[in-house]
Structure 1
Amino acid sequence: MIESLKKTYRKLRMDFRFFYSVNWIKTIYFNYKMFPYNTAKKLPVFFYGKVKFSNLSGNVSIEGPIKKAMIGFGQKFEFPSTSKGTAELSLKGNLCFKSNAHIGLDYAILIDKDGYCEFGFMGCLGSNVKLICTQKIIIGKWCGIGYDSKIIDTNSHPMKNTLTGKVYPISSSIELGNYNAFSNSVSIMPGTKTPNNCVIASHTICNKDYTDLGENILIGGIPAKLIKNNFARDWESEKEMLLESKRVK
């Protein structure tokens, strides 16, 4: 009896904290602005904490069954759990969620007018991650980008070869494989492609296609290169904990 009361109390306390962590004004506004009524009323996208909507002229789509709070912006799932209140979302292009996805604190996300950004199931951006999409960024299922990282598909400025006069492309698509574990402070630059089951060391710069290296690899360095074969994150041992901590039901 006492143990049952304790469990009930703990659940009520967690639910109470969850309720007051949600930015209900931004959550309701975003859902009803971006989705048809039958989708919006289910509130599939939750915003936590302070966030600036600098542009919401683009489109958001969710594939598969719609559930409440299946996509979270500003979630506290890592240390530190305190926010600087600098989160900003500028959505001019197309943002697609294949299912549940999670974004940490103090994110900065820009999807330009011609950009397409896709999150696979349990795609995740850690805290203080900057994402700029002008062309195409694909984040595979169970692909996590560590805190303080950047994923940017453009050089922002025109560049050329001073000898030949050749002009380099400003933008190039990024495609990150399934079950990728990006450590903290990684720069993911235009043209990056990674295989499935890949681990990327912290403070790495990724800037090319690494899929020919095969799966179950560790890459790292400036720029990234193969460090170790037969190396993978043990996702199966963590899945239940990750699903619970990110409130996936």
Structure 2
Amino acid sequence: MIKKLKDIYHRLKFYSKINWVKTLYFNYKKFPYSIARKLPVFFYGSIKFQNIKGDVVIEAPIKRGMIGFGQPYEKNTRHKGIAEVAIAGKLVFKGHVQFGKDYFFYISKGSYAEFGHMSSMGSTGKIICTNKIILGDYARIGSESQIMDTNFHQMIDTETGERFPMTGSVIIGNYNYIGNRVSLMSNTVTPDFCTVASNSLCNKNYSSYGNNILIGGIPAKLLRNNISRDWELEKDLLDEWLII
């Protein structure tokens, strides 16, 4: 009985953090009634909708709160109230996904973003998609990190006049563990079971190094082979504590 009462208390405490106005508005605005009534997307804390005219698709069994924007799953407990969402392109969720507090989430018109099951972005994270960003299953990204597939400004070769591409794509493999304050820039590709050290800059295709690697630095380079987060040990714990 005591355990049951504690579970009820923690559930009520958790649900009290949900921004019900934005949650209800987003779900009924973006999904047909049969999906919207299940409330698959939760918003927590203060959030500004800059633009939500794009397409949002869930390619997984629909569960209440399976996608959490501002979800309280980290050590910090307070929101700064600076979270902002702009979805003008196509956004696809492949399962349960978590975004930490105070994120900036921007999907421009004509772009494509895809998030695998149990992928995540920690607090104060930034995602700017102008072309294509894909996160695999269990691609876990630490706080204060950013994913940007554009450099925003046209760069040229001052001798030849050649114009360099402004955008590319970012593709993060399955079971990736990205440390905090990591920048994942245009043309980044990581293999499965890749670990990226904190404070690194990734800007190229690292898949030729194979799976189970550690990369890091500015720019990132191969640091070690045959190393991985212990996913077999932690996977069930992540599912238990982060899936609502």
> What's the C-alpha RMSD, in Å, of the aligned pairs?
0.8
Question: Which residue of 182, 185, 192 corresponds with 2:181?
Answer: 185
Which residue does the alignment assign to 2:148?
152
**Does residue 132 in structure 1 map to residue 128 in structure 2?**
yes
Q: For 1:220 and 1:70, locate their aligned partners in 2 and report how far apart those are by CA, in whole Å.
A: 31
Q: How many residues align?
A: 244
Residues 196-233 of structure 1, C-alpha deviations (whole Å, 9 max, x = no match): 00000000000000000100000000000000000100
* Code of the aligned partner of 1:128: T
Q: Is the 8 A contact 2:121 2:143 kept in 1?
A: yes
Which residue does the alignment assign to 2:236?
240
Residues 136-156 of structure 1, C-alpha deviations (whole Å, 9 max, x = no match): 000000001110001000010
Q: Is the 8 A contact 2:83 2:101 kept in 1?
A: yes
Partner SS, residue 242 of structure 1: helix
Q: How many Å apart are 1:247 and its aligned residue?
A: 2.8
- Map 1:24-39 → 2, pairs under 5 A: 24-39=20-35
- Map 1:5-16 → 2, pairs under 5 A: 5-16=1-12
Q: How many Å apart are 1:244 and its aligned residue?
A: 2.2
Q: For 1:83 and 1:240, locate their aligned partners in 2 and report how far apart those are by CA, in whole Å.
A: 28
Partner SS, residue 101 of structure 2: coil
Q: For 2:243 and 2:212, locate their aligned partners in 1 and report how far apart those are by CA, in whole Å.
A: 28
- Map 1:37-116 → 2, pairs under 5 A: 37-116=33-112
Residues 62-97 of structure 1, C-alpha deviations (whole Å, 9 max, x = no match): 002111111111011112221101110011111100
Q: How many Å apart are 1:245 and its aligned residue?
A: 2.0
Partner SS, residue 159 of structure 1: coil
Which residue does the alignment assign to 2:221?
225
Q: Is the 8 A contact 2:60 2:93 kept in 1?
A: no
Q: Percent identity?
A: 50
Q: TM-score, normalised by structure 1?
A: 0.96
Residues 16-57 of structure 1, C-alpha deviations (whole Å, 9 max, x = no match): 102211111100000000011111111110111111001011
Question: Which residue of 196, 199, 222 corresponds with 2:195?
Answer: 199
* Code of the aligned partner of 1:142: Y
* Code of the aligned partner of 1:73: F
Question: Which residue of 167, 173, 177 corresponds with 2:169?
Answer: 173
**Does residue 142 in structure 1 map to residue 126 in structure 2?**
no
Partner SS, residue 167 of structure 1: coil
Q: For 2:124 and 2:13, locate their aligned partners in 1 and report how far apart those are by CA, in whole Å.
A: 23
**Does residue 117 in structure 1 map to residue 113 in structure 2?**
yes
Q: Is the 8 A contact 2:101 2:122 kept in 1?
A: yes
Q: For 1:205 and 1:26, locate their aligned partners in 2 and report how far apart those are by CA, in whole Å.
A: 34
Runs of 4+ in 1 over 3 A off after TM superposition: none
Partner SS, residue 16 of structure 2: helix
Q: For 1:124 and 1:65, locate their aligned partners in 2 and report how far apart those are by CA, in whole Å.
A: 18
Q: How many Å apart are 1:174 and its aligned residue?
A: 0.7
Q: Is the 8 A contact 2:175 2:194 kept in 1?
A: yes
